[in-house]
A = this chain, B = another copy of it.
Amino acid sequence: MHTVILAGGGGTRLWPLSREQYPKQFIKLFDDSSLFQKTLERALIFSAPDEIYVVTNEKHKFMVLEQISEKEIEIPEENVLLEPLAKNTLPAIYFAVKTIAERNGDTKITVLPSDHLIIANEEYRKAFQRAEKLAESKLVTFGIKPTRPHTGYGYIKPGKKIDGGYEVDAFVEKPDFEKAKEYIEKGYLWNSGMFLFKSSIFIEECKKYQPELVKAFEINSLSEVYTKVPEVSIDYGIMEKTDKAAVVHFEASWSDVGSFDALYEVFEKDSNGNVAKGECILLDSSDNFILGERLIATVGIDNAIVVDTRDAILVCSRKDAQKVKNIVEILRSRGDNRAEIHKTVYRPWGSFTVLEEGEFYKIKKLTVLPKRRLSLQRHYHRSEHWVVVKGTAKVTVGDKEFFLRKGESTFIAAGEVHRLENPGLITLEIIEVQIGEYIGEDDIERFQDDFGRV
């Protein structure tokens, strides 16, 4: 069985933790793993590594590859499919299903969102086994038995009982509290966003209900495909229209982690109902979600969310957790890049963190992964001082090449062609002091790059 992992989301409801360039699924919230990495591990239950496909946005390519390699799962790079634009779930799924079918012929495919949290217990495995049988003739979706009248989830109304599950009577939108209670009484299920189907049936239904989309994908240029393809969800575009929809129900501890309040629910609480990640002193404070890089002290604070990052702090009442996206909208409308990036920016070769910025200087900590190197490059307006604080660097300046060990430093004058490489087996850490009249990231001319960025 093949598995398609959807990793294209750009959620902003966990700002300032998540940013456009660093969405929810890649944040390491749990035991130093991201939701994406946990999804990879779940995919391995039913698929071999080379049967796993990931669909993500172009700009997250290197983060996806990095997180896959951290888990030492041998997914071929050609299985990571890159969307030039985000067009909701249906184009992403169709892109993957079409690719898999072209390479492998007709096959059963599981679709997993990468930004949900679910425990893959025995119930989960059995549900997928039942779904696999149903998928001979159905497009199977998975419905979680609700534990409470949640107003943040969509629901599925099961229809006629069939072997292993139900037909689907209706997909219903997020309800209000009263409606949610009614749905639960009537046996509706939470719509988990996971699917299992045969590629042939799925493609057939797409041809029937989304001919425009199928046609768009016949174009050779992917960027053109994505300009033309309609923006549509699989639920709206196919599942609500097809007469082949089935739902397999099961009990599971599941969350869409759609807000800090949802995140609060997922974690274990202390005796005062607090979830405290990072260093905290909580006095007379209860039922809070506290997460930070610095020391956070609270006094007399209840039902609040406090999230601290290097360049922004959120303090929010738990009941208003859904409104965090409004903050991001405000930042975007101002062109403020704190909606988009963290102080730590991920690059294919590693990452950098801006430690301090003045009018004419910028101090960065660069982390270069083993065997990676930055592009061969030149800056016109800034000189750079490099001091190695960990590992060994191979440095190219003009036609000279030399090594720098921990505690050693070098200087790159403005205008000089240079390159930084980590030839070693452990991470290289460099402190870079940039000085110049202009220190924007766009003052860079690349001559050669291992990651196609010239």
Q: Chain A: residues with CB nearer than 8 A to chain B?
A: 16, 281, 283-284, 292, 294-301, 304, 306, 308, 310-317, 319-321, 323-324, 326-327, 330-331, 338, 355-356, 358, 360-361, 363, 365, 383, 385, 387, 389-390, 406-407, 409, 411, 429, 431, 433, 435
Contact = CB atoms under 8 A, between A and B. Distances in A.
B316 A300 contact: yes
B323 A299 contact: yes
19 contacts: A281-B330, A283-B323, A283-B327, A298-B314, A299-B316, A299-B321, A299-B324, A300-B317, A300-B319, A300-B320, A306-B313, A306-B315, A313-B313, A360-B389, A363-B363, A385-B387, A389-B435, A409-B409, A409-B411
A408 to B, nearest CB: 9
Nearest to A319: B300
Q: Top 7 A-B pairs ranked by shortest CB distance? A: A300-B320, A300-B317, A299-B316, A361-B389, A295-B312, A387-B433, A407-B435
Contacts of A301: 304, 315-317
Contacts of A429: 358
B295 A323 contact: no
Nearest to A409: B385
B284 A320 contact: yes
Contacts of A389: 358, 360-361, 433, 435
Contacts of A320: 283-284, 299-300
Contacts of A323: 283-284, 299-300
Contacts of A304: 301, 315
A71 B365 CA distance: 38
A296 B313 contact: yes
Contacts of A319: 300
Contacts of A314: 297-299
A120 B406 CA distance: 58
Nearest to A301: B315
A323 B433 CA distance: 42
Contacts of A281: 327, 330-331
A313 B300 contact: no
Contact of A296 (B299, B315, B324): B315
